[in-house]
Homo-oligomer: A and B are copies of this chain.
């Protein structure tokens, strides 16, 4: 039986950076909070709690603590209110998101109608939207565009959308607009991770997708993998069941952008234990055969 890890699994650049900033802050401050869970992964949130980094839901809960802004970013008015408090702000907003916020704000001031490709309920999109004073539109794809023409239009995207959907949106808008400005901050970590998952799913009898049940990108990986082969979405190793592997020859593992390395390692070891191949326990994700760190 073979057990393989998809290339480019786990943390993306922005998440890695945010966690690093949080851990550094925890060392330097005794009282650190994150505004909302730092990432959509309950295991990581628990780990940070054990280091006294608590997640709070509301600004009013913050009292004389260093506050970490998570990689998705926060609404502009939330940031403004934080600045009014006498606290240290550790802004771990993904640099791609910050760039888009700045671009949206600038174009809005110049009178461009802003169109956002994204999920209107996602914190990142809510954050982007908050930087726009004028009228803005949020669409999940080009077909959601209203039937109208535009004079000056600015186009931005949630960092995790597919470039293909972005191309379709821009292509539709260019024929309906006199002038357009576009910034492409779509992070290819998402498509790279999805492609690696497809690659592995194609040669596997079963796929284990590891990551938060509340993580959009992990759920998407499970959906994509499920098109090719029987797929199980788990948050931790505890959920792994022996019966899944009774008739399998090739098993694949992949993990979302918010899945910590140690959770992946646990899942890997658990499966090895079940299929009876445990020579020695793997300690680091880097030691799992097939592991390849993304940027």
Binding site for B on A (CB under 8 A): 103, 163, 166-168, 170-171, 174-175, 177-184
Contact = CB atoms under 8 A, between A and B. Distances in A.
B182 A174 contact: yes
A175 B167 CA distance: 7
Copies of this chain assembled into the complex: 2
A194 B260 CA distance: 59
Nearest to A153: B182
Given A181-B180, A181-B181, A171 B167 contact: yes
A182 B183 contact: no
A287 to B, nearest CB: 35
A163 B174 CA distance: 9
A178 B163 CA distance: 12
Nearest to A172: B167
A101 B192 CA distance: 40
10 contacts: A166-B175, A167-B171, A170-B170, A171-B171, A174-B184, A175-B184, A177-B182, A177-B184, A179-B181, A181-B182
Contacts of A103: 179
A177 B170 CA distance: 13
A182 B181 CA distance: 6
Contacts of A179: 103, 181-184
Contacts of A183: 178-180
A157 to B, nearest CB: 10
Contact of A182 (B166, B168, B180): B180
Contact of A170 (B163, B171, B178): B171
Nearest to A168: B171
Contacts of A171: 167-168, 170-171
Contact of A174 (B170, B175, B177, B178): B170
Nearest to A175: B163
A85 to B, nearest CB: 35
A167 B178 CA distance: 13
Contacts of A184: 174-175, 177-180
A137 to B, nearest CB: 18
A20 B174 CA distance: 32
Contacts of A175: 163, 166-167, 184
A23 to B, nearest CB: 31
B181 A174 contact: no
Nearest to A166: B174
A228 B174 CA distance: 30
